[in-house]
């Protein structure tokens, strides 16, 4: 009978603890907030990560965080709404690793106003970043995915790939002052369910994660007027402190979520345990399903 504990080398332990080793993930809007947390989480589980952000410096900072802990990543700066972005973004990862295993369509922002004050540009901007950009990225990836799936089927191998589109409880239940954002995040669900049907035979799980109140720079409670520049537009960020406190008070778990907790929800749809889960919407909101 064995009396001494089984000793496993550090290399073997690391392999056993990482479920995405050898996978290549593409994450948009990954320089800050939830996207950054998603990139770090997937990398911590062994995935190679293509880190996208509007600003090259912020994308590279996340890459540096990943490589400092032994992970592998490359930065790819640019706006997801630019013509040709999708092909260049997907091409960067294929050129580096010749693989597409995980796509997380995370990039986005809000641009709020009541409908009487909402311009066409405000509405179109939300549709472009939240719906058209993911559509273009999936279209750009389709040729590679179809070719790889065909080869794997011929070899008798079953290889699952993952797409996670980011939605919101504003998309599942609507939200005051967000006709544009809510419409776009609802449209993401239609795209998700359609691609789950189109790509199911290719062994691609396509799901959506709908976030509730997650603490980021976009939802920070502040009475200061803060703005960011996105695609030439000046967009306000943060919400009044009283509103933030009120939103937190109705969350059943008693507080907003952290970016890391949001990333954990995305990871659930990327890990092997979700290989038979597709066309689903996972709400990560601490029990809050509507605003």
| Residues annotated as part of the active site | 181
Residue 33 CB coordination number (10 Å): 19
Please, what's the b/e burial string for 182-204 (b: 16 or more CB within 10 A of its CB; e: otherwise)?
Answer: bbbbbbbbebbbebbeebeebbb
b/e sequence 50-68, b meaning 16+ C-beta within 10 Å: bbbbbeeebbbbbbebbee
Pair 49, 66: CB distance under 8 Å: yes
β-pair partners for 162: 102, 205
- Alpha carbon 151 to chain centroid distance? 28
235: CB partners within 8 A, 6+ apart: 109, 110, 111, 227, 228, 229
Number of residues that make up the chain: 291
Burial of 72 (0-12, 13-18, 19+ CB in 10 A): middle
């Amino acid at each position: 009978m064995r009396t001494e504990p089984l000793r496993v080398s550090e290399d073997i332990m690391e392999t056993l603890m990482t479920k995405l080793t050898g996978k290549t993930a593409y994450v948009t809007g990954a320089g800050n907030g939830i996207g950054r947390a998603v990139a770090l989480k997937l990398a911590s589980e062994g995935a190679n990560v293509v880190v996208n952000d509007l600003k090259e410096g912020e994308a590279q900072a996340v890459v540096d965080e990943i490589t400092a802990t032994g992970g592998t990543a490359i930065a790819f700066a640019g706006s997801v709404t630019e013509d040709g972005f999708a092909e260049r973004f997907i091409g960067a990862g294929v050129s580096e690793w010749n693989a597409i295993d995980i796509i997380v369509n995370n990039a986005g922002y809000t641009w709020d106003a009541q409908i009487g004050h909402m311009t066409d540009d405000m509405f179109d901007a939300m549709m472009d970043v939240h719906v058209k950009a993911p559509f273009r990225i999936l279209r750009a990836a389709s040729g590679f995915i179809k070719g790889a799936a065909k080869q794997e089927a011929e070899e008798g191998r079953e290889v699952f790939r993952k797409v996670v589109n980011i939605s919101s409880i504003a998309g599942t239940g609507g939200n005051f002052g967000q006709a544009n954002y809510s419409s776009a995040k609802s449209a993401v669900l239609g795209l998700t369910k359609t691609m789950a049907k189109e790509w199911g035979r290719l062994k691609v799980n396509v799901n959506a994660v709908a976030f509730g109140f997650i603490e980021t720079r976009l939802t920070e409670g502040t009475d200061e007027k803060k703005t960011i520049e996105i695609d030439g537009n000046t967009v306000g960020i943060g919400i009044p402190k009283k509103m933030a406190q009120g939103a937190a008070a109705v969350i059943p778990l008693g507080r907003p979520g952290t970016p890391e907790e949001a990333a954990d929800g995305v990871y659930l749809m990327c890990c092997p345990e979700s290989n038979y889960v597709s066309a689903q919407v996972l709400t990560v909101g601490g029990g809050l399903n509507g605003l």
